Amino acid sequence: MKVTLISIPVLDQENALKFYTEKLGFLKKKDIPLGGGNRWLTLVSEEWQDGPEILLEPAPNHFEPSRVYQDALMKAGIPWTQFDVQDVASEYERLTKLGVSFSVKPTEMGTVKVAVFNDTCGNNIQLVEEL
C-alpha cells in the first residue's frame, strides 16, 4: 500500500492553483472539469513529479462538515498538512519575499525545524526540515 494522493480543501480552486504553483512551485498535473465550476485539480512537486499528487478539493463549498473542520483547524493554528523541505529558513525567506504570511517563523523542535504559513485558501501548512 502507498499514498498516491492527498486532498487539501480549498475555498477557491483557481486562487489555490495560482498560490500553489506561482508561490510554492508545484506543477499542475490534472485539470478535469467536473461540472458546476468544480475541477479534479491535482498538483505534483517539481522535485518529485512521479510522487503523490495534491488534490485541491473544493469540499468546504459543498460539504458543511468539511468547512467546519477546516475553519476549526485554522482558528486553532493547526496545520492541515506538512511539506518537507531541505532548508526551512531559506524557504521562509523565499516565500516571505513572495508575500506569504507565516504564523510560525522557523523554529527548532527537537529533531526538526518547522514553520507554518497561511495558504490563502483556508489552511495553515507546515514546512518541516529534518535536522
Reading the block at residue 41, the C-alpha cell is: 485539480
Residue 122: closest CA among 8, 32, 37, 46: 8
- Rounded average pLDDT over 5-23: 97
pTM of the entire structure?
A: 0.95
**DSSP single-letter state for residue 52:** P
DSSP H helices in the chain: 13-18, 64-76, 88-97
Residue 69: closest CA among 106, 113, 114, 124: 124
Residue 44 is predicted with a pLDDT of 98
Residue 127 is predicted with a pLDDT of 98
Percent of the chain with pLDDT over 70: 100
8 close to 54: Cβ distance less than 8 angstroms? yes
- Rounded average pLDDT over 100-123: 98
Q: In the structure, what pLDDT confidence band is assigned to residue 122 with cuts at 50, 70 and 90?
A: very high
pLDDT single digits (tens) 87-109:
999 999 999 999 999 999 999 99
- Architecture of the domain delimited by 5-130: Roll (3.10)
pLDDT single digits (tens) 42-63:
999 999 999 999 999 999 989 9
Sorted by where each begins, the domain ranges of the chain are: 5-130
Q: What does pLDDT average to over the chain?
A: 97
